[in-house]
Structure 1
Amino acid sequence: MGDFWTRMEGRGPAEVVVDGVEVRAGSRVRLRPRGTADVLDLVLTGREGVVEAVEQDEEGAFHFAVTVDDDPGRDLGEARLPGHRFFYAADEIEPLGERACRVLVAGIGNVFLGDDGFGVEVARHLSAAPRTPGVDVVDFGIRGMDLVYALQRDYDAVILVDASPRGEPPGTLTVLDPTEPAEPAEHASPGQREAPGAPAGGGQPLETHGMDPVKVLRLAAELGPVPRLIRIVCCEPESAAEALYELSAPVQAAVPEAASLVNALVMEMIAESAGRGCRDRAHG
């Protein structure tokens, strides 16, 4: 079984022409499995989804790894886990002639440290609403390396949601663009001190069970291409005390407003990415 998955995960070309249409990671397709006896094929026939990767086996045949739009475990497929990531040959997919602009909304923070769990709560709030096609809302908590790997999955834009002290009244929301020039040190917030695409210069290693947005973005940029559009939605905390398992009143009250803000940013980023063909990605 291990040899099978090794062969199936051999990276193929960036794109393959299917029925005269270029298909690549992010391309939308309709599934047309050849099998008729397999129950799973019957269930998936006619479903639409997104190509996560183009793979090539040792015999040179192309296989398209597809996640299905209405799969509640779609994020597991994007993490390359079996059961939510389906492989099909070129004659089993119907290209829809479009590439979905893909946005990752990452809720980050430690739910055991009071208001530090703000990003996680916003992610939960967003996940309870109907899903916007092409938008993945994920609660990363303090799993910094998981977020690093997620940023390598061909997203066009990412929104990080976190608590960050900036000297404002508790519950104040701020949107940061970490790709802009840094502010002077005495005025800079944690999300603005370093641009993720900046040279590494011997930066500090990332703690695998910690979550510093700047370090996460920097490491992701060192490993490969990262989304061109990056925003950090920050909330001013009132407390971040250990063993305080709930948000303070002003920060809790800011959760719905933050969710609305994130949704507005998502629409803006999709529109901007669509104007550029959803293909530009920055390199570190």
Structure 2
Amino acid sequence: MLQPKIMVMGVGNVLLSDEGLGVQFLTLLSQETLPDNVELLEGGTAGLELVHLIKEVDYLIIVDAVNAKDEPGAIFRFEPEDIRVMPSQFEVSFHQVGILEVLAMANILGTAPKTLIFGIQPKSLDMGLELTPEIRGVLPRVKDLVLEEIQHIIQHGEFRQGNP
């Protein structure tokens, strides 16, 4: 049986402390032995040029900073459709072109993968290359959650149900 193509994308600006957590998360995840059908992509602050990078992907897992006005390090697991239901709860991205716009464009082109987002409430968006201790401390938990999703997709052909 052909394995689905899974991409884990880390998004964010590494110059703004916790805003770069998605990109720094990929460094942590890359130390794991991942199945051959899993690709890691540093989305950085790229905008619509990401559309062509995700068009061949079946499942996309995004790790990004989200402002849910919660405790620093709080983890949120949601699908893009959830944002349309409760947009006031999340300012999904701090970037110029948010990942939702990228997914909307991919949808229009008929190439949007099934997508799951792990958002983490940042503590600091100040200039700096280092993550705050609160955010650095939560990344191993996010790694476990992402690895569980990858296993579930491979075994069941879908994302897990429920919250982290």
TM-score band (shorter)? 0.7 to 0.9
Higher strand proportion: 1
Q: Match of 1:125, SS?
A: helix
Partner of 2:112 in structure 1?
Answer: 226
Could you list the runs of 5+ residues in structure 2 that have no partner in the other structure? 159-164
Q: Match of 2:145, SS?
A: helix
Partner of 1:172 in structure 2?
Answer: 74
C-alpha distance in structure 2 between counterparts of 1:190 and 1:135, whole Å: 28
Q: Alpha carbons of 1:251 and 1:221: their partners in 2 closer, same or farther (altered >3 Å)?
A: same
Partner of 2:145 in structure 1?
Answer: 261
Partner of 1:138 in structure 2?
Answer: 41
Q: CA deviation at 1:177?
A: 1.2
Any idea what the Cα deviations from partners look like across 1:214-263, whole Å, max 9, x if unmatched? Answer: 11111121223211x2100000000112x211111101111111111111
Q: Match of 1:220, SS?
A: helix
Is 2:129 the counterpart of 1:245? yes
Matching residue within 35, 60, 65 for 1:158: 60
Q: Match of 2:125, SS?
A: coil
Is 2:99 the counterpart of 1:217? no
* Contact 1:109/1:211 (8 A) holds in 2: no
Matching residue within 1, 4, 10 for 1:107: 10
C-alpha distance in structure 2 between counterparts of 1:212 and 1:259, whole Å: 22
Q: CA deviation at 1:128?
A: 1.6
Any idea what the Cα deviations from partners look like across 1:149-203, whole Å, max 9, x if unmatched? Answer: 11111x21110100011121101111011134733443x3134xxxxxxxxxxxx
Any idea what the Cα deviations from partners look like across 1:116-170, whole Å, max 9, x if unmatched? Answer: 10000111111121121211111121122342111111x2111010001112110
* Contact 1:107/1:120 (8 A) holds in 2: yes
Partner of 1:190 in structure 2?
Answer: 91
* Contact 1:121/1:255 (8 A) holds in 2: no
Q: Larger C-alpha radius of gyration, 1 or 2?
A: 1
Q: Alpha carbons of 1:272 and 1:179: their partners in 2 closer, same or farther (altered >3 Å)?
A: farther
Counterpart of 1:269 in structure 2: which amino acid?
I
Matches within 5 A, 1:22-171: 98-153=1-56, 155-171=57-73
Q: Alpha carbons of 1:236 and 1:180: their partners in 2 closer, same or farther (altered >3 Å)?
A: closer
Could you list the runs of 5+ residues in structure 1 that have no partner in the other structure? 1-97, 192-208, 275-284
Q: Match of 2:128, SS?
A: coil
C-alpha distance in structure 2 between counterparts of 1:248 and 1:267, whole Å: 29
C-alpha distance in structure 2 between counterparts of 1:181 and 1:253, whole Å: 26
C-alpha distance in structure 1 between counterparts of 2:87 and 2:4, whole Å: 35
TM-score (norm 2): 0.86
C-alpha distance in structure 1 between counterparts of 2:139 and 2:83, whole Å: 28
Q: Alpha carbons of 1:184 and 1:172: their partners in 2 closer, same or farther (altered >3 Å)?
A: closer
Aligned length: 157
C-alpha distance in structure 2 between counterparts of 1:190 and 1:270, whole Å: 31
Percent of aligned pairs sharing the same letter: 26
